[in-house]
């Protein structure tokens, strides 16, 4: 099934769309070729082996660890949010996605703080490198995120319930039978 964005397409419009797509595709391939040439010209062959190994490990970690974990989490989340509508499930999923991304950014900072700032006198730690308590900030962020998502889910659920009740005419609302 084709979706028409502007309206029914004539043969002239089809040719224009084809040419625009072909031009954009050619420009994309040219940019990719330029980047690949620049990469191969500027990276020594010894480092190419390391890059290929890193890409292979990244592919294995993505397909072997991240995809199964996110699939399981999505299935569990579907069971957990079974009573919610699709919009509210989207709010919960969006909150978890934002939380996961912020955690992904904060995790290296927390780890670096543990490694680079040993405690004790004469440790030589540089207190200006990683200022702040990142673990505490991440915990507070998660608490605020969970609270905000819960408020949105509760407000949308309450508003949606009220709007459904008020949308039904009074004569059609369920209740005791009226004699008349």
Instruction: Pick the more confident residue, 144 or 9.
Output: 144
CA atoms within 13 A on the CB side of 99: 17
Instruction: Please state the rounded mean pLDDT for residues 82-111.
Output: 88
pLDDT of 121 > 70? The answer is no
Q: Does residue 37 lie within any of the structural domains? A: no
Q: Does residue 3 lie within any of the structural domains? A: no
Provide the domain count of the chain. 1
CA atoms within 13 A on the CB side of 171: 2
Q: Does residue 89 lie within any of the structural domains? A: yes
Confidence tier at 170 by pLDDT (50, 70, 90):
low
Quote the DSSP letter at residue 62. I
Quote the DSSP letter at residue 26. H
pLDDT value for 57: 94
- How far is the C-alpha of 180 from the C-alpha of 178, rounded, in Å? 6
Assessment of whether the complete model's pTM goes beyond 0.75: no
Q: Does residue 134 lie within any of the structural domains? A: yes
Q: Does residue 8 lie within any of the structural domains? A: no
Mean pLDDT of the chain: 81
pLDDT digits (tens, 9 = 90+) for 123-148: 666 666 677 889 999 999 999 999 99
Q: Which domain holds residue 140?
A: 82-116+130-168
Tokens coding 135:
């673990």
Q: Does residue 100 lie within any of the structural domains? A: yes
């Amino acid at each position: 099934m084709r979706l028409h964005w502007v309206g029914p397409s004539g043969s002239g419009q089809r040719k224009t769309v084809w040419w625009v797509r072909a031009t954009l595709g050619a420009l994309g391939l040219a940019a990719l070729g330029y980047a690949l040439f620049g990469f191969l010209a500027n990276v020594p062959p010894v480092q190419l082996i390391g890059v290929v190994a890193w890409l292979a490990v990244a592919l294995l970690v993505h397909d072997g660890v991240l995809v199964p974990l996110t699939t399981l989490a999505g299935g569990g989340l579907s069971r957990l949010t079974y009573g919610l509508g699709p919009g509210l499930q989207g709010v919960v999923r969006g909150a978890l996605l934002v939380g996961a991304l912020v955690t992904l950014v904060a995790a290296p900072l927390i780890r670096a703080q543990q490694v680079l700032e040993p405690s004790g006198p004469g440790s030589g730690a540089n207190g200006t490198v990683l200022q702040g308590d990142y673990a505490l900030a991440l915990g507070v962020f998660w608490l605020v995120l969970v609270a905000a998502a819960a408020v949105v889910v509760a407000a949308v659920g309450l508003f949606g319930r009220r709007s459904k009740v008020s949308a039904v005419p009074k004569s059609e609302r369920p209740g005791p039978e009226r004699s008349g």
